[in-house]
Structure 1
């Protein structure tokens, strides 16, 4: 496969691996070699979000990604305590079980909150590995400037269970397209892949249960924003400015609160910069990582 050729969804699934997490099957992807980079996906999608940028990263780093509980090809049990904390437990256990001593984190959307929880645990010496760096992509790291879509509000409300059951492909396509940039819109086949992953294993039956992360962000703001502002690791925000939910507001808030804000704004790009402009994101991420490489690999 050429360095920048993306795999198909079928190939992504068949080349992945499943592991057991508290009696549930979790889908994962691993590849490349070198320093470890952990990719944390967003809502309501999956590790598939990374497939376009994966061919850029894997020749230079050892890359890890999984579908969190309730997402993608992983199990989606109806009776399950879905939470950001549990997703952080999932990643922490996975990394520690593999014996990784040091990881870089590249996180998007929902995954940004997971990364912030892992940062907080790192600052409490509660991890058996070190976090070398964190790069955020369009996520509500500051919940007060997050602007949820109407469908997200409905799913998070008292009618969420009903809304999830009647969620149609048309409504899904409309809302996904809204958060992409005007010149980087997903095509029919790409939307079909996103929809297929949502439907897989009764995903519509649990999507409203995943929406608890909106309240979690508000409840844990002090902990999660504090972990970001206290971080000693290099931190960068790469954000599409055309994102209506966590674009310009997050950029401005990051610039206002962070002691030494490292921000890359991408005009015309929406909520999924790594999907919309993977080459550009890799360029900015590669430059960020150059200054964070461990002494053992700096000459490679």
Structure 2
């Protein structure tokens, strides 16, 4: 699926002064089954999940929002894009769509959002899967700190800036990604508006917003899967292992031959683990 076909699936909903673009596919085979929400990280957007979506949507109602400031959600300047605000947005968005709770699957800063949902909005999360996520003081990486400096907006044009960012991101893959995939991941940011929004997103990264919830991780009471591309150079596997120890009953699953973008390096393996995890949770819930 190319990024234009993916974007054509998106719907838009208003949340106060902002709007959120999102994909909503599938209906699930079981009326008692919670929807699945997939959250992306920085500097990408919902298209990150395009290889996972078709299979998941066959069995589950699957929703993928673009976080505020990302993708084709609101990218105007001068609003908060922190993971604290993003978690509040997901809570409001779920209300708007009439979703009481969901299985939340998340990556990178989306994982930080998911961890805040699971600890501060626990009624929203029925199952939790985080992949190569930010946590503790594992972030922001140096690349994002540099990119988030206000002066970055005047250093180069949008096209040159995003081209340079794309080159840097290739180290997040185990093998060289297809050109179409790389172009798709960064497609929304090739305008000056998009570039500035991405710079503001990077400027909002704040390690305090994950360290703040460290002592709450032991309160997460839902089934949890920590899925990790084991060769990640951005979010090291040691943080994932620590997370799996700190969340009661969490399952640690390293994925070989995968780096940061694990769902693109090893999509079949990721989908298989997700399907098994979601099916097992459903069976367990029905047996209670």
Same fold (TM over 0.5): yes
SS of the aligned residue for 1:192 comes to helix
Q: Deviations over 1:17-63 (max 9, x none)?
A: 11112233321100111230011111111111111100110111100
Provide the TM-score with structure 2 as the length reference.
Answer: 0.88
Indicate if the aligned counterparts of 1:104 and 1:131 stay in contact, CA closer than 8 A: yes
How far did 1:261 drift? 4.0
Picking from 223, 239, 255, the partner of 1:234 is: 223
Indicate if the aligned counterparts of 2:220 and 2:248 stay in contact, CA closer than 8 A: no
Q: Which has the higher helix share?
A: 2
Matched, 1:197 2:196: no
Residue aligning to 1:178? 171
Matched, 1:9 2:8: no
Provide the TM-score with structure 1 as the length reference.
Answer: 0.85
Q: Show the 5 A alignment for 1:1-300.
A: 7-34=1-28, 35=33, 36-123=35-122, 129-143=123-137, 145-146=138-139, 148=141, 150-157=142-149, 159-163=151-155, 168-181=161-174, 183=175, 185-199=176-190, 202-215=193-206, 217-223=207-213, 225-255=214-244, 257-293=246-282
Indicate if the aligned counterparts of 1:69 and 1:82 stay in contact, CA closer than 8 A: yes
Residues 103 and 47 from structure 1, CA distance in 2 versus in 1: closer, same or farther, beyond 3 angstroms?
same
SS of the aligned residue for 2:239 comes to helix
Indicate if the aligned counterparts of 1:44 and 1:198 stay in contact, CA closer than 8 A: no
Indicate if the aligned counterparts of 2:82 and 2:205 stay in contact, CA closer than 8 A: no
SS of the aligned residue for 1:250 comes to helix
Runs of at least 5 residues in structure 1 that lack an aligned partner in the other structure = 1-6, 124-128
Runs of at least 5 residues in structure 2 that lack an aligned partner in the other structure = none
Aligned length: 281
Q: Deviations over 1:259-284 (max 9, x none)?
A: 44411101220111112211100111
Off by >3 Å, runs of 4+ in structure 1: 156-167, 255-261, 294-298
